[in-house]
């Protein structure tokens, strides 16, 4: 007989009010009072813990932008939490297990809350009862299934930590040495296991308690006849009876286990704000207040602020303090970070955990410590090393993959701003920033030479400051001054000319766009560059901007609007694809190269353009084979965040070399295609230093497009020249 039929049949034998459970059956009044006293104490401890956490966040700086559009943020957060889309990315096993844990826990929590609602509120205050009859039976079935899901998910997580042991969960710190007082993070491992065991024990004892109750009350037909509505408890009850456990023994077991189960559950609730369990709330809050352009659009500095950036833990915004607590230590950012992979003393996870530990120690106290003990920079316990901050490529791999929307890059950049203000940086970086301030470019070349590359063309390039154009080409430093990139720049000019595009450039009026200057932390210089470029752009006549530099593309698109410069801007891959589809450019020859493509961070992860470059590779007739890490999981070339101006340590693989070795694993690879001037520079060097020169070549997509449009002999001569 199925359950639905059983429900209908049982109604003939039992009154609906009989089909229920008496919560405190068999307990003395004194025991019931004691339980309520313990329960209220647990709630008081929980509420005090919440108060301490809220007080901690309130000690951070303000962040009014995150409080806008609360309704939309709430809806988006709920959708993300329920879908688990951020948790299952790149780790489907953990995602499915967490889904079982989450929904199992939520259903069990709702079930407990429902019982409390009926027993302590509606029944006592209004005489209204609903926890009986068919509702009670379906309630029992759903909660049994929820408990099974919870235990199954927890067992997988235990196996994952105890036997599978993915490297990202080892908590090894690249920024500390063994013996340092905060190198050992075994406490986190103990907390993880305590969390897993606590939930397992609560769920398992709940099932055993249910089974003991069934055996204890086996002589009551309204209980035993309907036992299969609690299938797990019923199976355990059958096992207990088969083992010789009678009603009296089951009653004794039930009494002791009831207190054990209840005590663990109440302690679990009381400790939520002070343990890993609080991520249930902090992760949801972090997702709700996430900034979709967290790293693409960095915040402006307050001109009236007494200092720049994050120097003290109280300089962090309340949202960033919330981010620290939202971190679940899953290690996905640790795994994705190119700096860590290259042996740098940086793990985004460890930066967040160090700041969390610092915040907990300093801000959870009744009163704040003295100013000196709020400084988050330095070599002491909980502080973040200068070398750690300068290792970051600001590639956004950490922000992209974080399942709970922690904003690692903005926090790191804010801390860099303080270092820059105090002059704590590599001498070569400081010299480069001074060069940019003086000349407007990172090469130290005269502004008059910015358009020198145009002299190699057999047609004039318009000055958009002097005559209106349809398309303004913002060229960028590397495309303007680097000899290898100048060949690509000339190629793009020829493509625009061939397509009949009315385009021009700013000549000496263009300066470095400032994207990497800002991510270095030199906000003052960035604002100067942005304001100068916006002033020049305002004097020119154009309809939209195109750039071959993804770094310039990002800051003009996402950050210049904050300074009054709002423009329509496209990357060259988007424009060339548009010209091909309109028939203004026609690739005549299928190149047939076996090709892989590197997604530039600022075009891909930052601005979600993955398809246009791939469509161009298809248009020129190349066979595209993506590397293992591509699209939003692309591995940074190592140039971002100003790192192209900072020498890497000798004796360690650079991110570009790691990437080149990854590409070399593709059988028969002929071309490693890029769509960024910095990528071309970084990867051509890495091609040589990894011993892959001669096996395949690094080519700009512009070069492939030109080759596919030129007669074979001219194309071969162009390839040989490169």
- Write the pLDDT tens digit of every residue in 173-182: 999 999 998 8
Bridge partners, 504 (sequence order): 462, 472
Bridge partners, 544 (sequence order): 471
Q: Given 3-state DSSP classes, what are the helix, strand and coil percentages for the chain, each rounded to the nearest 5?
A: 60, 5, 35
Confidence band, pLDDT 50/70/90 cuts, at residue 532? very high
How confident is the model over 229-251, as a mean pLDDT?
96
Note the Cα 202 to chain centre separation in Å. Answer: 31
Is the model more confident about 16 or about 567?
567
- Over the stretch 447-461, which tens digit does the pLDDT of each residue have? 999 999 999 999 999
Asked if 675 and 637 touch (Cβ cutoff 8 Å), the reply is no
Ramachandran region, residue 179 (left: φ > 0; alpha: ψ -120 to 50; beta: rest) = left
Task: Specify the pLDDT at position 8.
Answer: 45
- Over the stretch 208-235, which tens digit does the pLDDT of each residue have? 999 999 999 999 999 999 999 999 999 9
Task: For residue 116, give both structure tokens.
Answer: 């409390």
Confidence band, pLDDT 50/70/90 cuts, at residue 600? very high
Task: Specify the pLDDT at position 714.
Answer: 46
In the chain, the domains with their CATH numbers are 300-421 (1.10.1060.10), 429-579 (3.40.50), 586-721 (3.40.50)
pLDDT > 60? residue 245: yes
- The helix or strand, by DSSP H or E, that contains position 346, with its residue range, turns out to be none
pLDDT > 60? residue 155: yes
> What is d(CA 448, CA 439) in angstroms, rounded to the nearest whole number?
10
pLDDT > 80? residue 11: no
Confidence band, pLDDT 50/70/90 cuts, at residue 124? confident
- The helix or strand, by DSSP H or E, that contains position 167, with its residue range, turns out to be none
Question: DSSP letters along 449-484, please?
Answer: GTTGGGGGSSS--EETTTS--SEEEE--HHHHH-HH
Bridge partners, 623 (sequence order): 594
Q: Is the dihedral of CA 238, 244, 248, 249 positive or negative?
A: negative
The mean pLDDT value of the chain amounts to 93
> What is d(CA 46, CA 120) in angstroms, rounded to the nearest whole number?
20
Task: Specify the pLDDT at position 711.
Answer: 59
How confident is the model over 541-557, as a mean pLDDT?
98
Task: Specify the pLDDT at position 720.
Answer: 55
Task: Specify the pLDDT at position 452.
Answer: 97
Phi, psi values for residue 116, rounded to 5° = -60, -40
Confidence band, pLDDT 50/70/90 cuts, at residue 192? very high
- Over the stretch 622-655, which tens digit does the pLDDT of each residue have? 999 999 999 999 999 999 999 999 988 877 899 9
- Over the stretch 12-52, which tens digit does the pLDDT of each residue have? 578 888 899 888 998 999 999 999 999 999 999 999 999 99
pLDDT > 70? residue 712: no
Ramachandran region, residue 253 (left: φ > 0; alpha: ψ -120 to 50; beta: rest) = alpha
Task: Specify the pLDDT at position 713.
Answer: 42
Tell me whether residue 459 is exposed, middle or buried, using C-beta atoms within 10 angstroms of its C-beta: 0 to 12, 13 to 18, 19 or more: exposed
Task: For residue 309, give both structure tokens.
Answer: 């950036």
- Over the stretch 303-347, which tens digit does the pLDDT of each residue have? 877 889 999 999 999 999 999 999 999 999 999 999 999 999 999
> What is d(CA 374, CA 179) in angstroms, rounded to the nearest whole number?
24
> What is d(CA 714, CA 704) in angstroms, rounded to the nearest whole number?
13
- Over the stretch 664-710, which tens digit does the pLDDT of each residue have? 999 999 999 999 999 999 999 999 999 999 999 999 999 999 999 87
Largest CA distance in the chain: 101
Residue 594, SS3 per DSSP: strand
Task: Specify the pLDDT at position 305.
Answer: 79
């Amino acid at each position: 007989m199925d359950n639905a039929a059983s429900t209908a049949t049982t109604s003939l034998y039992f009154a609906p009010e009989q089909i229920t459970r008496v919560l405190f059956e068999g307990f003395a009044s004194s025991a019931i009072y004691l339980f309520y006293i313990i329960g209220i104490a647990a709630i008081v401890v929980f509420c005090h813990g919440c108060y301490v956490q809220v007080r901690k966040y309130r000690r951070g700086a303000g962040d009014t932008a995150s409080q806008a559009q609360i309704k939309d943020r709430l809806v988006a957060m709920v959708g993300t939490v329920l879908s688990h889309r951020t948790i299952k990315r790149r780790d489907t096993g953990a995602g499915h297990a967490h889904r079982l844990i989450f929904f199992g826990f939520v259903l069990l929590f709702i079930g407990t809350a429902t019982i409390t609602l009926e027993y302590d509120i509606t029944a006592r205050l209004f005489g209204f009862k609903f926890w009986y009859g068919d509702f009670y039976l379906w309630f029992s079935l759903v909660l049994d299934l929820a408990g099974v899901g919870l235990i199954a998910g927890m067992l997988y997580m235990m196996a994952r930590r105890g036997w599978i042991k993915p490297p990202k969960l080892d908590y090894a710190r690249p920024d500390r040495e063994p013996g340092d007082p905060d190198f050992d993070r075994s406490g986190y491992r103990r907390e993880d296991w305590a969390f897993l065991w606590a939930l397992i024990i609560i769920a398992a004892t709940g099932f055993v308690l249910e089974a003991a109750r069934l055996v204890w009350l086996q002589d009551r037909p309204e209980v035993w006849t309907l036992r299969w509505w609690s299938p797990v408890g019923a199976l355990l009850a059958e096992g207990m009876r088969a083992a010789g456990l009678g009603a009296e023994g089951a009653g004794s077991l039930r009494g002791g286990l009831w207190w054990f189960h209840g005590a663990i559950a109440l302690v679990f609730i009381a400790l939520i704000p002070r343990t890993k369990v609080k991520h249930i709330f902090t992760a949801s809050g972090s997702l709700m207040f996430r900034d979709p352009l967290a790293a693409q659009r960095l915040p402006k500095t307050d001109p009236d602020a007494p200092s720049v950036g994050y120097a003290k833990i109280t300089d962090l915004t309340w949202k960033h303090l919330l981010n620290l607590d939202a971190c679940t230590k899953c290690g996905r950012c640790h795994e994705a970070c190119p700096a860590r992979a290259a042996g740098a003393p940086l793990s985004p996870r460890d930066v967040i955990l160090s700041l969390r530990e610092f915040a907990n120690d300093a801000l959870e106290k009744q009163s704040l410590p003295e100013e000196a003990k709020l400084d988050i920079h330095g070599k002491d316990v909980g502080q973040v090393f200068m070398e750690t901050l300068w290792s970051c490529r600001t590639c956004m791999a950490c922000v992209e993959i974080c399942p709970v929307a922690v904003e690692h890059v903005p926090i790191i950049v804010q801390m860099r701003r303080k270092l820059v203000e105090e002059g704590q940086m590599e001498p070569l970086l400081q010299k480069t920033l001074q060069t940019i301030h003086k000349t407007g470019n990172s090469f130290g070349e005269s502004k008059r030479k910015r358009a020198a590359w145009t002299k190699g063309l057999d047609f004039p390039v318009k000055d958009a400051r002097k005559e209106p154009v349809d398309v303004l080409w913002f060229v960028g430093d590397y495309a303007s001054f680097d000899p290898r990139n100048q060949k690509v720049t000339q190629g793009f000019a020829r493509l625009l000319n061939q397509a009949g595009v009315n385009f021009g450039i700013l000549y000496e009026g263009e300066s470095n766009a400032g994207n990497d200057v800002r991510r270095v932390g030199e906000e003052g210089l960035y604002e100067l560059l942005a304001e100068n470029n916006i002033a020049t752009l305002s004097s020119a006549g154009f309809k939209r901007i195109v750039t071959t530099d993804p770094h310039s593309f990002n800051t003009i698109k996402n950050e210049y609007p904050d300074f009054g410069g709002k423009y329509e801007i496209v990357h060259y891959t988007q424009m060339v694809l548009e010209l091909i589809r309109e028939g203004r450019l026609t690739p005549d020859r299928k190149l047939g190269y076996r090709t892989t493509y590197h997604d530039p961070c600022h075009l891909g992860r930052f601005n979600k353009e993955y398809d246009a470059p791939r469509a161009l590779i298809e248009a020129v007739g190349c066979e595209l084979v993506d590397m293992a890490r591509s699209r939003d999981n692309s591995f940074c070339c190592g140039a971002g965040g100003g790192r192209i101006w900072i020498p890497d340590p000798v004796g360690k693989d650079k991110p570009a070399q790691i990437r080149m070795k990854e590409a070399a694993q593709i059988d028969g690879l002929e071309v490693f295609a890029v769509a960024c001037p910095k990528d071309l520079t970084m990867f051509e060097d890495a091609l040589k230093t990894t011993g892959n020169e001669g096996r395949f070549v690094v080519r700009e997509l512009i070069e492939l497009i030109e080759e596919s449009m030129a007669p074979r002999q001219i194309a071969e001569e162009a390839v040989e020249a490169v």
